[in-house]
Amino acid sequence: MTCSPAMRRVFRGAELVIDDALRRGDLVVDGGRIVGVELIGGAASAAPDHGLEVVDVGGCVISPGFIDLQCNGAVGVDITSDPDGIVAVARALPRFGVTSFLPTVVTSPAANRRAAIDALVALRGASYQAGADPIGLHLEGPMISRQHLGAHAPEHVVALDAAELDQWATSDAVRLVTLAPELPGAVAAIERLSRAGIAVSGGHTAMTPTELAAAKGAGLSYATHLFNAMAPFSHRAPGPIGAVLADDAVVAGLICDGIHVDPVAVRMAWRALGPSRVSLVSDAVGALGSPFGRSRLGHLEVIHDADGVRTLDGVLAGSALALDQAVRNLMEFTGCELAEALACVTSTPADLLGLDDRGRLSVGSRADLTILDRNGELVATVIGGVTAWQR
C-alpha cells in the first residue's frame, strides 16, 4: 500500500478512529493533509473523489499517527548525551507507529540541555527521509526530588534559575518540562513556563494533594510516568499517586510494559482516569529497536535484557517499549477497546500539548496515520501522506 507523495489519494474501506470510536469510511489525503473524511452511513466532511489514487485498506483500522511524549532514544542513540542523534531516532520510530514525539533529556548538566535546544532548532525547516516529527523537547529534570531520583543523577539535580527558564521559554524548542512541584521555587517556574505555552508536569516527586492543587493553579497539567519515581500511595498519605488519581483534570503518563507498573495498577489507573486522561509513553532509551546488551542513558551505563532496561545497580532506567506494544498491552491489562487505547497515543497527548493539526482524523490535520489490524498490530505508518514504514 505504498503511497506516492505527489498524488491526491483516498484510503478506502478502513475503519476510522473518529471521536474515540471506530467508524467505517474513506479518508482523502492531498499535499500532506487530510482533505476529506467520508463516513459510511453519515457524512463527516468529504472532498470530491475524481482523480484520486485509491489505496485499499479494507479490513484495517486507520488511527491518527501516534504521539510519544517521552522518548529518550532508540536504535542505540541516547538523546541526552547525543542530541544530534534525534534524526536517527526520528527515522526509527515509524516502525513502532510513531509519527510525532518529544525527544527527552534527563537530568544532566546545563550544557546538555543547551545542546539539545540548539540541535532541535537546527532541525526546524530541515528535511530527513520518512521520520517522525520531533515537535519539541521534553526536559525531564533537573528540578526533581532527590528522594525520588529513579535513574537520574543526583549530582545534576538543581533548582531552575531565571536565566535558564527564560531560555526555555523563548527557545520555541521546549514543549514539556517535568519537575517536582513541592520544591522551593517550583510554582513560580510553572507559572513562567505555562505563560510561554510550555506544558508542565509533576514527576520524580513527593507532592501532596495540596501541593498538586497549587501547581495546577500555576498551570501544571500532567504527571510524568505515574507510579514510577514518586512517593508511594498510603491511605493516610496519598501523595502524588492518590492526588492524581483523585483529580478531575490532570493527565497521567503511563509506561504500560508490565514491568514499570503491574497490570493491576494499570487497570486501577485506567478505571480512575480513562482514555482522556491517560497518555501512554514509551520512556524508551537507546535499547528500543536494539538487541539485548549495554547502552547509555545520560551519564549511566544501562543493561537491556528480558527484565527491561536497568542500571548496573538494578534500578529501572527507561524502557525498550514500543508504543504500539503499549497500546496492545493496555487492551490486554484493562479490557478496553482498541479505539479507547488509541486515544491514549493520539488525541490525549495532542490535547495536552495544544496541538490542533494532529491527533485526530479531521479535515486540515496532517496526514499522519498509523494503520493497524483489528488486534492493534501495525500494518503501516504514514507521515505527511507518505508511507514511512510498511509491514
Tracing cell 514527576 back to the chain, one arrives at 203
Three-class secondary structure of residue 117 per DSSP: helix
Query: 253 - beta bridge partners?
Result: 279
DSSP state of 136: -
- Catalytic residue flag (residue 56): no
Query: 371 - beta bridge partners?
Result: 62, 380
Say how many C-beta atoms besides its own lie within 10 A of residue 87's C-beta.
17
**Torsion-angle region of residue 116: left (phi > 0), alpha (psi -120 to 50) or beta?**
alpha
Helix (H) / strand (E) element for 54: namely: strand 53-56
| Length of the chain (residues) | 391
DSSP 15-81: EEEETTEEEEEEEEEETTEEEEEEETTS-SB----TTPEEEE-TT-EEEEPEEEEEE-EETTEETTT
Q: Which residue among 26, 68, 78, 283 is the active-site one?
A: 283
Distance CA 192, CA 342 (A): 32
φ, ψ at 281 (rounded to 5°):
-125, 155
Distance CA 37, CA 10 (A): 9
**Do 265 and 227 form a contact (C-beta atoms < 8 A)?**
yes
Closest CA to 149 of 107, 202, 211, 199: 107
Helix (H) / strand (E) element for 4: namely: none
Give 245-250's long-range contacts (Cβ < 8 A, gap of 24+): 245/269, 245/272, 245/273, 246/209, 246/272, 247/212, 247/216, 249/216, 249/221, 249/277, 250/202, 250/212, 250/216, 250/220, 250/221, 250/222, 250/223, 250/277
Residue type, 234: S
Q: Which residues are catalytic, by number?
A: 283
